[in-house]
Amino acid sequence: MKDKRILLGISGGIAAYKCGELIRLFVRAGAEVKVIATRNALQFITPMTLQTLSRNRVYTEMFDTSGDITPEHISHADWADMMVVAPASADIIGKFACGIADDALSTTFLAFDKPVFIAPAMNTRMYCHPVVQRNLASLRSLGVRVIEPVEGELACGSSGKGRMAEPADIVEFITKETE
Protein backbone atom coordinates (compact mmCIF):
# COMPACT_ATOMS: atom_id res chain seq x y z
CA MET A 1 0.00 0.00 0.00
CA LYS A 2 2.98 2.31 0.39
CA ASP A 3 2.73 5.29 -1.95
CA LYS A 4 -0.54 4.02 -3.48
CA ARG A 5 -3.22 6.58 -4.27
CA ILE A 6 -6.62 5.22 -3.33
CA LEU A 7 -9.93 6.71 -4.34
CA LEU A 8 -12.43 5.55 -1.71
CA GLY A 9 -16.05 5.64 -2.81
CA ILE A 10 -18.60 5.49 -0.02
CA SER A 11 -22.23 4.75 -0.83
CA GLY A 12 -25.23 4.95 1.46
CA GLY A 13 -25.51 2.26 4.10
CA ILE A 14 -24.94 1.84 7.80
CA ALA A 15 -21.56 0.21 7.11
CA ALA A 16 -20.29 3.65 6.05
CA TYR A 17 -19.39 4.19 9.71
CA LYS A 18 -16.55 1.68 9.20
CA CYS A 19 -14.92 3.91 6.59
CA GLY A 20 -13.15 6.00 9.19
CA GLU A 21 -11.18 2.95 10.25
CA LEU A 22 -10.66 1.89 6.63
CA ILE A 23 -9.12 5.27 5.80
CA ARG A 24 -6.96 5.11 8.92
CA LEU A 25 -5.62 1.67 7.91
CA PHE A 26 -4.88 2.78 4.34
CA VAL A 27 -3.03 5.87 5.58
CA ARG A 28 -1.14 3.86 8.21
CA ALA A 29 -0.02 1.50 5.40
CA GLY A 30 1.45 4.48 3.51
CA ALA A 31 -1.36 5.20 1.05
CA GLU A 32 -2.89 8.54 0.18
CA VAL A 33 -6.69 8.53 0.22
CA LYS A 34 -9.27 10.76 -1.42
CA VAL A 35 -12.96 10.20 -0.76
CA ILE A 36 -16.03 10.47 -2.96
CA ALA A 37 -19.20 10.06 -0.91
CA THR A 38 -22.77 9.86 -2.12
CA ARG A 39 -25.39 12.04 -0.50
CA ASN A 40 -26.84 8.95 1.16
CA ALA A 41 -23.42 8.02 2.58
CA LEU A 42 -23.34 11.36 4.37
CA GLN A 43 -26.41 10.30 6.34
CA PHE A 44 -24.14 7.78 8.11
CA ILE A 45 -20.73 9.49 8.32
CA THR A 46 -19.77 13.15 8.19
CA PRO A 47 -17.51 14.89 5.69
CA MET A 48 -15.51 16.32 8.61
CA THR A 49 -14.63 12.81 9.83
CA LEU A 50 -13.62 11.70 6.35
CA GLN A 51 -11.60 14.86 5.65
CA THR A 52 -9.80 14.71 8.97
CA LEU A 53 -8.76 11.09 8.53
CA SER A 54 -7.88 11.29 4.82
CA ARG A 55 -6.36 14.77 5.06
CA ASN A 56 -8.13 15.57 1.80
CA ARG A 57 -11.32 17.30 0.81
CA VAL A 58 -14.35 15.01 0.40
CA TYR A 59 -16.08 15.17 -2.95
CA THR A 60 -19.84 14.77 -2.98
CA GLU A 61 -21.16 16.69 -5.97
CA MET A 62 -20.70 16.18 -9.69
CA PHE A 63 -20.59 19.90 -10.30
CA ASP A 64 -18.19 21.74 -8.03
CA THR A 65 -18.81 25.47 -7.75
CA SER A 66 -15.60 26.22 -5.83
CA GLY A 67 -13.94 27.69 -8.91
CA ASP A 68 -11.87 24.63 -9.92
CA ILE A 69 -12.76 24.00 -13.57
CA THR A 70 -11.25 20.51 -13.81
CA PRO A 71 -13.98 17.87 -14.16
CA GLU A 72 -13.47 16.06 -10.86
CA HIS A 73 -14.50 12.64 -12.10
CA ILE A 74 -11.70 12.81 -14.66
CA SER A 75 -9.08 14.33 -12.37
CA HIS A 76 -9.83 11.73 -9.69
CA ALA A 77 -9.60 8.91 -12.21
CA ASP A 78 -6.26 10.25 -13.42
CA TRP A 79 -4.93 10.71 -9.87
CA ALA A 80 -5.76 7.34 -8.30
CA ASP A 81 -4.01 4.00 -8.66
CA MET A 82 -7.14 2.14 -7.62
CA MET A 83 -10.75 2.68 -6.65
CA VAL A 84 -12.28 1.04 -3.58
CA VAL A 85 -16.02 1.30 -2.96
CA ALA A 86 -17.01 0.42 0.59
CA PRO A 87 -19.75 0.00 1.43
CA ALA A 88 -21.12 -0.78 -2.01
CA SER A 89 -24.89 -0.59 -1.69
CA ALA A 90 -27.31 -2.40 -3.98
CA ASP A 91 -28.03 0.99 -5.51
CA ILE A 92 -24.43 1.81 -6.46
CA ILE A 93 -23.78 -1.76 -7.63
CA GLY A 94 -26.80 -1.45 -9.94
CA LYS A 95 -25.65 1.93 -11.24
CA PHE A 96 -22.16 0.61 -11.94
CA ALA A 97 -23.47 -2.53 -13.67
CA CYS A 98 -25.88 -0.56 -15.87
CA GLY A 99 -23.59 2.34 -16.66
CA ILE A 100 -25.76 4.91 -14.90
CA ALA A 101 -23.72 8.01 -14.11
CA ASP A 102 -25.93 10.37 -12.17
CA ASP A 103 -23.74 11.29 -9.19
CA ALA A 104 -20.08 11.95 -8.44
CA LEU A 105 -19.29 8.34 -7.51
CA SER A 106 -21.00 6.60 -10.44
CA THR A 107 -19.59 9.13 -12.92
CA THR A 108 -16.08 8.60 -11.58
CA PHE A 109 -16.51 4.82 -11.82
CA LEU A 110 -17.26 5.12 -15.55
CA ALA A 111 -14.17 7.28 -16.06
CA PHE A 112 -11.95 4.87 -14.10
CA ASP A 113 -9.72 2.48 -16.06
CA LYS A 114 -7.57 1.01 -13.28
CA PRO A 115 -8.30 -1.66 -10.63
CA VAL A 116 -11.66 -1.36 -8.88
CA PHE A 117 -12.61 -3.16 -5.67
CA ILE A 118 -16.10 -3.18 -4.18
CA ALA A 119 -17.19 -4.35 -0.74
CA PRO A 120 -20.96 -4.96 -0.83
CA ALA A 121 -23.03 -4.33 2.27
CA MET A 122 -26.77 -4.77 2.58
CA ASN A 123 -29.53 -6.89 4.05
CA THR A 124 -29.24 -10.61 3.26
CA ARG A 125 -32.45 -10.67 1.21
CA MET A 126 -31.17 -7.75 -0.86
CA TYR A 127 -27.74 -9.31 -1.31
CA CYS A 128 -29.24 -12.65 -2.40
CA HIS A 129 -31.76 -11.05 -4.76
CA PRO A 130 -31.21 -12.29 -8.33
CA VAL A 131 -30.89 -8.72 -9.66
CA VAL A 132 -28.08 -7.87 -7.23
CA GLN A 133 -26.34 -11.16 -8.00
CA ARG A 134 -26.69 -10.50 -11.74
CA ASN A 135 -25.23 -7.01 -11.29
CA LEU A 136 -22.30 -8.40 -9.29
CA ALA A 137 -21.67 -11.05 -11.96
CA SER A 138 -21.72 -8.33 -14.61
CA LEU A 139 -19.18 -6.25 -12.67
CA ARG A 140 -16.95 -9.29 -12.12
CA SER A 141 -17.00 -9.95 -15.87
CA LEU A 142 -15.68 -6.41 -16.35
CA GLY A 143 -12.78 -7.06 -13.97
CA VAL A 144 -14.19 -5.47 -10.82
CA ARG A 145 -12.96 -7.37 -7.77
CA VAL A 146 -15.65 -8.10 -5.22
CA ILE A 147 -14.73 -8.34 -1.54
CA GLU A 148 -17.48 -10.65 -0.38
CA PRO A 149 -19.67 -9.61 2.53
CA VAL A 150 -19.63 -11.81 5.60
CA GLU A 151 -22.31 -13.47 7.65
CA GLY A 152 -23.28 -11.87 10.90
CA GLU A 153 -25.68 -9.59 12.66
CA LEU A 154 -27.09 -6.92 10.38
CA ALA A 155 -28.27 -3.43 11.27
CA CYS A 156 -31.91 -4.48 10.79
CA GLY A 157 -31.55 -7.01 13.62
CA SER A 158 -31.47 -10.14 11.48
CA SER A 159 -28.41 -12.25 10.77
CA GLY A 160 -27.03 -13.48 7.47
CA LYS A 161 -24.65 -12.72 4.64
CA GLY A 162 -24.54 -9.06 3.74
CA ARG A 163 -22.39 -7.50 6.43
CA MET A 164 -19.49 -5.54 4.92
CA ALA A 165 -16.09 -7.15 5.43
CA GLU A 166 -14.13 -5.61 8.29
CA PRO A 167 -11.75 -2.79 7.31
CA ALA A 168 -8.63 -4.83 8.15
CA ASP A 169 -9.89 -7.66 5.93
CA ILE A 170 -10.56 -5.24 3.08
CA VAL A 171 -7.02 -3.84 3.31
CA GLU A 172 -5.58 -7.38 3.45
CA PHE A 173 -7.61 -8.45 0.38
CA ILE A 174 -6.51 -5.43 -1.64
CA THR A 175 -2.89 -5.77 -0.55
CA LYS A 176 -2.80 -9.40 -1.71
CA GLU A 177 -4.49 -8.54 -5.01
CA THR A 178 -2.11 -5.67 -5.84
CA GLU A 179 1.25 -7.14 -4.85
DSSP line for 98-110: HT---SHHHHHHH
Closest CA to 84 of 116, 110, 60, 122: 116
Dist CA 159 CA 123 (whole Å)? 9
Q: Is 19 a catalytic site residue?
A: no
Give the active site residue among 19, 98, 128, 156: 156
Report yes or no: 55 and 42 within 8 Å, Cβ to Cβ. Answer: no
Dist CA 31 CA 43 (whole Å)? 26
Dist CA 75 CA 137 (whole Å)? 28
Show which residues are catalytic: 156
